[in-house]
Amino acid sequence: MQTLRIFEIFYSLQGESSRVGLPTIFIRLTGCPLRCGYCDTEYAFEGGGVMTLDSILQQIKAYDTPYVCVTGGEPLAQANCALLLSQLCDAGYQVSIETSGAMDIATVDARVKIIMDIKTPGSGEVHQNRWANLPLLKPVDEVKWVLCSREDYDWAKDMLTVQPFPDPCQHLFSPSYHEVSSASLAEWILQDQLPVRMQLQVHKILWGEKQGV
């Protein structure tokens, strides 16, 4: 029987990525091997409960939306995550996964939209970046950069030219909450005419920093 440790399943508006604003089912898996300084889901490092994949699929039927986001923690740290992703796709959902970029994405079903973080120096986990994932990204996938400072922004700008990102590739530049002002990041992007999408965490603007949103 295939199982996963699930911290929570909830229904909210997608606060990030190109699907921002869409009513979405979030399946948050417990656990993460990284310890990013700006992490806003430390509460999900432990706890939750074991659920079968069948029970997960049954529970989410209560919500009338085609969008499902599998997140964490780091969802790919659990072996059966890839199987859950495929079963969600088989059930007709439009599935995305939020992953740190430190785990191999080769097992992720091609039907899944991958939102992959690149860890900046300010995160404290830059050494965890798995650059071998880049050739595996699809045109529909997105790369997220959480920026903790002007130094992080300059580093990310350099990485856009140094690393072999696929073309096209949508890059999401996000200010670290409480560390970089959104206005400052907007000005930097415009000054450099950088071909990226700036994103804010809409769920935090609406409801603040709390669980289940």
Domain range list for the chain: 3-207
Q: Quick one: pLDDT at residue 177?
A: 84
Q: Quick one: pLDDT at residue 212?
A: 76
Point out which residues pair with 146 in neighbouring strands: 174
Q: Quick one: pLDDT at residue 140?
A: 95
Homologous superfamily of the 3-207 domain (CATH): Aldolase class I (3.20.20.70)
CA separation for the pair 159, 123 (Å, rounded): 15
pTM of the model: 0.94
Q: Quick one: pLDDT at residue 180?
A: 94
Q: Quick one: pLDDT at residue 1?
A: 77
Q: Quick one: pLDDT at residue 209?
A: 76
DSSP, residue by residue, the chain: --EEEEEEEEEEE--SSTTTTSEEEEEEES--S---TT-S-GGGSS--EEEEHHHHHHHGGGS--SEEEEESS-GGGSTTHHHHHHHHHHTT-EEEEEE-SSS--TTS-TTSEEEEEE--GGGT-GGG--GGGGGG--TT-EEEEEE-SHHHHHHHHHHHHHS---SS-EEEEEEPTTTS-HHHHHHHHHHHT---EE---HHHHHH-S-TT-
Name 37's Cβ contacts closer than 8 Å, sequence gap at least 6: 122, 123, 124, 148
pLDDT tens digits in sequence order for the chain, 213 residues long: 799 999 999 999 999 999 999 999 999 999 999 999 998 889 999 999 999 999 999 999 999 999 999 999 999 999 999 999 999 999 999 999 999 999 999 999 999 999 999 999 999 999 999 999 999 999 999 999 999 999 999 999 999 999 999 989 999 999 998 899 999 999 999 999 999 999 998 888 878 777 877
